[in-house]
């Protein structure tokens, strides 16, 4: 299939850019989904020489780039509001801004606008991201959460993100939100509502990641078919359920990888995701963008896992048929 198999670099952020390029090629990838850990957004937006260096380094290693990511800055846009501020966000922003939510939000807003310009400079049409949520902490309605509170949360997201989307439109770049816990869109109906709140603005689409859906009891294939026109990017990531009567889906505040959790992220092909169904759905909607592996598995050595995941994804990356299987026996 023509869909390129790429590696999302955020989990490899401890490695220098040139090293992850070398390793990505060694593991068999065709490209990288560069995170802000490996692409300086402001520099890429303003310095053509830096962009040339990035592109040349990718090319030297036989790699390409079809999407870039700025998940962490995106999370800071909304989650720094007075009612939503989470001190853990301090680690997502420059150290000098720690404990200053308003300044973090201003930085994050500019960082996302730089990201739009960086994508344009890189010749990339899609940015994957998080956008945060002012109402995530109200997901369980006790004390009771009013409909007015929920609606106000969605409208606040629209208010803060619309100017950023204007910059993306000016640059000809789309935003692909990873539907994910802690985001304003974390399941099927919250995603539909978000798209409706933005009046189905073409700027905003989905970074499809089945690993965040299956443990919630959702069918990932339904996301592809029902939001077909909004699947702007795809993450290949797996999760394995371990609901044995003791383990619950909320995780019990237990670290990822521990077998006492009700589910864990695992290397693609080792979990419960039906990737065959996913590929068939992607073929049906005509998706021909990257299959980007977001590799997370606390129980497996990562170079082994990253290599195996690449091989697995190439194996399942089949094309749709251009003939019906029974064409040869049809009556003339």
Q: Count other C-beta atoms under 10 Å from residue 20's C-beta.
A: 24
Q: What is the 3-state secondary structure (H, E, C) of 272-285?
A: CCCHHHHHHHHHHH
| Mean predicted confidence (pLDDT) in 19-43 | 98
Read off the pLDDT of each residue in 144-164 and give the average, rounded to a whole number.
97
The average pLDDT across 98-125 equals 98
Q: What is the pLDDT of residues 304-331, one digit of tens each?
A: 999 999 999 999 999 998 887 777 777 6
Could you say which architecture CATH assigns to the domain 5-325? Answer: Alpha-Beta Barrel (3.20)
Mean pLDDT of 281-290: 98
Q: What is the pLDDT at residue 328?
A: 73
Q: What is the pLDDT of residue 23?
A: 98
Backbone angles phi, psi at 235, to 5 degrees: -100, 130
pLDDT digits (tens, 9 = 90+) for 186-226: 999 999 999 999 999 999 999 999 999 999 999 999 999 99
Task: Assess whether pLDDT exceeds 80 at residue 268.
Answer: yes
* Residue 128 pLDDT level (bands cut at 50, 70, 90): very high
Check whether 116 has a pLDDT greater than 80: yes
State residue 103's pLDDT score.
Answer: 97
The predicted structure's pLDDT at residue 163: 98
Report pLDDT for 332: 61
Q: Looking at residue 323, what is its pLDDT?
A: 82
Concatenated DSSP letters of 315-327:
HH-PPPPSS-TTG
Q: How far apart are CA 95 and CA 69, in angstroms?
A: 21
Specify the pLDDT at position 204. 98
Express as a percent the part of the chain with pLDDT over 90. 95
pLDDT of 276 strictly over 70 = yes
Quote the mean pLDDT of the chain.
96
Domain extents for the chain?
5-325
With cut-offs at 50, 70 and 90, classify the pLDDT of residue 66.
very high
**Predicted local distance difference test score (pLDDT) of residue 322:** 84
User: What does the pLDDT average to over 158-176?
Assistant: 98
What is the residue-wise DSSP string for 65-104?
Answer: -SEEE-HHHHHHHHTTSTTT--GGGGGGS-GGGTT-HHHH
């Amino acid at each position: 299939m023509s869909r390129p198999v790429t590696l999302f670099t955020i989990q490899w952020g401890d490695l220098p850019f040139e090293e992850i390029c070398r390793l990505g090629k060694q593991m068999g990838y065709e490209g990288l989904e560069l995170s802000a850990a490996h692409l300086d957004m402001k520099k890429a937006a303003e310095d053509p020489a830096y962009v040339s260096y990035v592109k040349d380094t990718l090319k030297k290693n036989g790699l390409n780039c079809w999407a870039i990511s700025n998940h962490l800055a995106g999370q800071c846009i909304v989650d720094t509001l007075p009612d939503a501020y989470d001190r853990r966000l301090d680690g997502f922003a420059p150290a000098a801004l720690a404990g200053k939510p308003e300044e973090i939000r201003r930085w994050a807003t500019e960082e996302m606008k730089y990201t739009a310009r960086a994508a344009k400079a890189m010749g990339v049409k899609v940015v994957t991201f998080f956008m945060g949520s002012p109402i995530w902490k109200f997901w369980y309605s006790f004390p009771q959460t009013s409909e007015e509170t929920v609606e106000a949360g969605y409208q606040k997201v629209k208010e803060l993100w619309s100017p950023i989307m204007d910059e993306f439109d000016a640059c000809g770049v789309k935003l692909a939100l990873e539907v994910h816990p802690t985001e304003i869109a974390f399941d099927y109906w919250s995603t539909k509502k978000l798209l409706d709140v933005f009046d189905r603005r073409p700027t905003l689409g989905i970074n499809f990641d089945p690993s965040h859906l299956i443990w919630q009891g959702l069918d990932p294939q339904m996301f592809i078919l029902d939001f077909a026109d909004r699947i702007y990017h795809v993450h290949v990531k797996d999760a394995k359920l371990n609901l044995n009567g003791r383990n619950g889906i909320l995780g019990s505040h237990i670290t990822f990888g521990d077998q006492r959790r009700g589910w864990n992220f695992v290397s693609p092909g080792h979990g419960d995701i039906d990737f065959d169904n996913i590929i068939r759905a992607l073929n049906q909607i005509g998706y021909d963008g990257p299959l980007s592996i977001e590799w997370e598995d606390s129980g497996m050595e990562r170079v082994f896992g990253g290599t195996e995941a690449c091989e697995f994804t190439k194996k399942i990356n089949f094309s749709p048929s251009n003939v019906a299987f029974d064409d040869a026996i049809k009556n003339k």
